[in-house]
A = this chain, B = another copy of it.
Amino acid sequence: MSLIYFTPGPAQLYPSFESHVKDFVDQQLGSISHRSAQYRAIHQFTVEQLRALLQVPDTHQILFLGSASEIWERIVFSCVELESFHLVNGSFSLKFADYAHALNKYAHKYEKPMGQGFVASEIVVPEYAELIGVTHNETSSGVQMPVNEIHKLKTGNPNKFMAVDMVSSAPYPELDYSLIENAFFSVQKAFGLPAGLGVWIVSEKCLERAQQIKNTFSIGAHNDLPTLWKNALNHETPATPNVMGIYLLGKVAQEMNGIGVNNIRKETEAKAQKLYKFIEKYQGLSPFVKEKKFQSQTVVVANTEGASSDLIKALKAKNMIVGSGYGKFKDSQIRIANFPATSMEQVDQLIEAITAL
C-alpha cells in the first residue's frame, strides 16, 4: 500500500520519478564519465530547463552542489568579506547566519519569533553589511516573505548583495533576477526528488566579488565560485557530481515547463487556499501564521489542539504522512507540504481524512 507524503522535505516524489529512474538505469547513465559529451548534454539540458522554468537571465549561472546548506557556505565565501545581515524568523534562516559566523564573518541579525514575517519598510540594513540573507519560505514555521517585499528590500539597498533561500518553495516564487544575485533550493522539496543535490542561481556580480575577496581572504577550496563558474561554462562541475540527481531534475523541470510555471503557481495557490480555509474552520486546528500575506503557499503549518503526534498517527493509519512541528513546536503543530507532486485530489483526500477522524 503506497503512502502519500505531505511532509515538507524529503517529500512526496514527483509522479513520474519512477519512470525517469528506470530510464536512467536502462541507459546505464550511472556509469558515464562526468567529462563526456553524454554527461555535458544532460547537464546542459537540466540548466536550460531550469533557466526556462525560473526565468533566469544569462547574467546568472545555474550551479549544482551537494545541498542547499553547502550553498549557504559558498554564498558567504563568495559575497562577504567582513559582514553579512540576516532576517531570522526560524531555524533555517538562523542557520544561514550561523554559517556566516562560523566563517568568521560578522553576521548581523534582525530577529522575529517563529510564525512572524518581515516587510521591507521595517528593515534597517547595517551600513557595512555586504549581503542580505532572506528566507522566502521558512520551512520550520511556514512563514513566507512576499516576493514584492524581497524586491523592495533590494531596491532600497541597491549596493547590497541579496541571497534568497527558496529551498522549500522554488519554483513558486517569481523572483526578478535583475534584482536578486543569489537564490538557491534543494531538490527534495517542491521538485519531488530524492535528496542529495542543491541548486545555486548566482549572478556574475558575485563571481567578480569572489575574485576580489580571494585577494585577501580564502573563499574556500571545494566548489569555490570561480571554479564552479568556469566548469559550468563547459556544462561540467569541478568534482564528480550527483549525475542521477541532475538527470532527474532536468526531466522534472521539463515536465513542469510543459505544464507551465504559472499554472503550477496557480495550482499551488488554489491548494493552499483550500488547506488554510479548512484549518481555519476545523475545530482542533488553527493556522500558526496569523497574517495572511505571510502564510506560506508551500508549507502550511497548523497548531493542533491536542498532541500533534496523535493526529499524525491517525493519518498514518490512513496512509497519509504529514510532518510534525519543528523544534519546540514538535508536538503542538503539524506541517503540510503543498508541493507540485501532490494533487488537488490528494489535498481533498487529506482534508476528508482529518474530517472523518
Contacts and interface: CB of A to CB of B under 8 A. Distances in A.
A186 interface: yes
**How many copies of this protein are present in the complex?**
2
Nearest to A214: B102
Interface residues of A, number: 60
A57 interface: no
Contact of A243 (B18, B102, B195, B238): B195
B218 A103 contact: yes
Interface string A1-19: 0110101011111000110
A188 interface: yes
A30 B17 contact: yes
Contacts of A321: 31
A194 interface: yes
A159 interface: no
A264 interface: no
Contacts of A66: 65-67, 70, 196, 242
A5 B17 contact: no
A329 interface: no
Interface string A127-164: 00000000000000000000000000000000000000
Given A67-B240, A245-B196, A7 B31 contact: yes
A195 B242 CA distance: 5
Interface of A: 2-3, 5, 7, 9-13, 17-18, 21, 25, 28-34, 65-70, 72-73, 76, 98-100, 102-104, 186, 188, 193-197, 217-224, 238-245, 321, 323
